[in-house]
Amino acid sequence: MVAQTAARNRIVALVTVLGLALLAALSVGLPGGIDEAAAAKRCGTTKISYSYGSFRFRVSVARGRVSCATARRVMRQGIPATRPDPRGWNCRETRPSSPYSDVCLASGRLVRARLV
């Protein structure tokens, strides 16, 4: 009976430790499990005018160190396909399946815009 109680206590302790380890892993976030959109730095909206109307785009920095002012400026200059890309940036429209309408890349930095 004493051996059964000791064995049961060890199992309870093991399950408790595993449960706490799982809880800690979920609260911190597992590597690679972070949603990229949630990790993006939000920079508000910018307004872009075309000959046929004005549209608002929500801008975010997905990768790299970019100030929000720079991100909005780059998207204002880079979104219309008829304009040249901002110096040092490469801007493109995305596929229709993407939640973002346009992206701009420069030296490992990524800025995205979504039509609001």
Residue 99 has a pLDDT of 87
β-strand pairing of 109-115 with 102-106:
antiparallel
> Average pLDDT for consecutive 10-residue bins of the chain (116 residues)?
65 49 40 53 91 92 95 89 86 87 93 92
Q: What separation in angstroms does the CA of 4 have from each of 9, 10, 11, 19, 37?
A: 9, 10, 11, 22, 51
Residue type, 114: R
pLDDT computed for residue 84 by the predictor: 86
Dihedral sign from CA coordinates of 49, 55, 61, 63? negative
- Beta 41-50 vs 109-115: how paired, if at all? unpaired
pLDDT of residue 50: 82
